[in-house]
Amino acid sequence: MILRTPLFSSGIAPRGKITSRTDSSPTRVNSDASRSTARSLAQDSFCPSGLCSCGRRRFIEAAVATSLFPICPSTSVASKLQANDYTAMLRKVHPPRPDWYEEFYASVLNSGMQAYEDEIAGYKSELFASLKGKAQQVLELGIGTGPNLKYYAAADSGLRVFGVDPNQKMERYAKAAAVASGLPLSNFEFIQAVGEAIPLDDASVDAVVGTLVLCSVKDVDKTLKEIKRVLRPAGLYLFVEHVAAKDGTTLRFIQSVLDPLQQTLADGCHLTRETGKNISGSGFSGVELSMTSLSSASIINPQIYGIACK
């Protein structure tokens, strides 16, 4: 049985920074080169941090920091963080995995969530309608294979979406989803990063979207701080998350038992987080939060959805 309460009505440089422009459009800075360099850093096993005598790692990091990520006079957090900081956080939160594993997980996610997406579609449609006329630059955390991209295309024709995900193998699925939804690829950018260190400048996007993502980040509160940091004043944070069932219920007992296994099999997903409390207490000026249960969601019930305003 679905229980529903009223819904609230209402350049980007991957791994680097956003430079200021008069048209407010983010500018890319050597994203292909930075992605290649980041991969080489992640795969470098010959020069462990702090033990490198040949200087190779320091030379690469210095080149990345000075060439790909120029530092501009700014006090923003994003400006202070350099390329190696983002890479280090990515490796810490999402340690390098074999390509076959990343591809397998992406393919399973792409094909195994259709029943859930069909059932949650009505809620998402109402949420994303809130972006119409209010957002031109949108960041989605945990873009995954892009199941939400069809909602962006309906929100505004000129809207640009920047999808963040630590799994690089998600990119081709997300781009295919963008094409299928009618969202031009020129209006979509995939960025390999994690929610705890978003490589965007302060107050750089109109909205942040996260659906089923706070369950798997390492640090929920730090991710929420990053979301607030990149949002412009009065910016919107749209969310759909699964949370722990009520204490004392059979479902909560099952979630507690299966939680360790879930984290292993579902790429760090936690079953017992009370994410709604984190969002409500994270300092947004207003939070409208509703709750429902979905028959297709099995043990990842109940689900919360809503909008927070910076």
Rounded to the nearest integer, the mean pLDDT of the chain is 78
pLDDT, one tens digit per residue, over 209-254 is: 999 999 999 999 999 999 999 999 999 999 999 999 999 999 999 9
pLDDT for the residue numbered 62: 39
Query: With a threshold of 0.85, does the pTM exceed it?
Result: no
Is residue 50 pLDDT above 50, yes or no? Answer: no
Question: Is it the case that residue 20 has pLDDT exceeding 90?
Answer: no
Convert the pLDDT of each residue in 260-276 to its tens digit: 998 888 888 999 999 99
pLDDT of residue 74: 43
SS3 labels along the chain: CCCCCCCCCCCCCCCCCCCCCCCCCCCCCCHHHHHHHHHHHHHCCCCCCCCCCCCHHHHHHHHHHHHHCCCCCCCCHHHHCCHHHHHHHHHHHCCCCCHHHHHHHHHHHHHHCHHHHHHHHHHHHHHHHCCCCCCCEEEEECCCCCCCHHHHHHHCCCCEEEEEECCCCHHHHHHHHHHHHCCCHHHEEEEECECCECCCCCCCEEEEEEECCCCCCCCHHHHHHHHHHHEEEEEEEEEEEECCCCCCCHHHHHHHHHHHHHHHHCCCCCCCCCHHHHHHCCCCCEEEEEEECCHHHCCCCCEEEEEEEC
Q: Quick: pLDDT tens for 63-85.
A: 333 333 333 334 455 445 556 67
Mean pLDDT of 273-296: 94
Stronger pLDDT, 256 or 43, i.e. the higher one:
256
Taking only the tens place, the pLDDT of each residue in 85-113 is 777 878 877 777 889 989 998 999 898 89
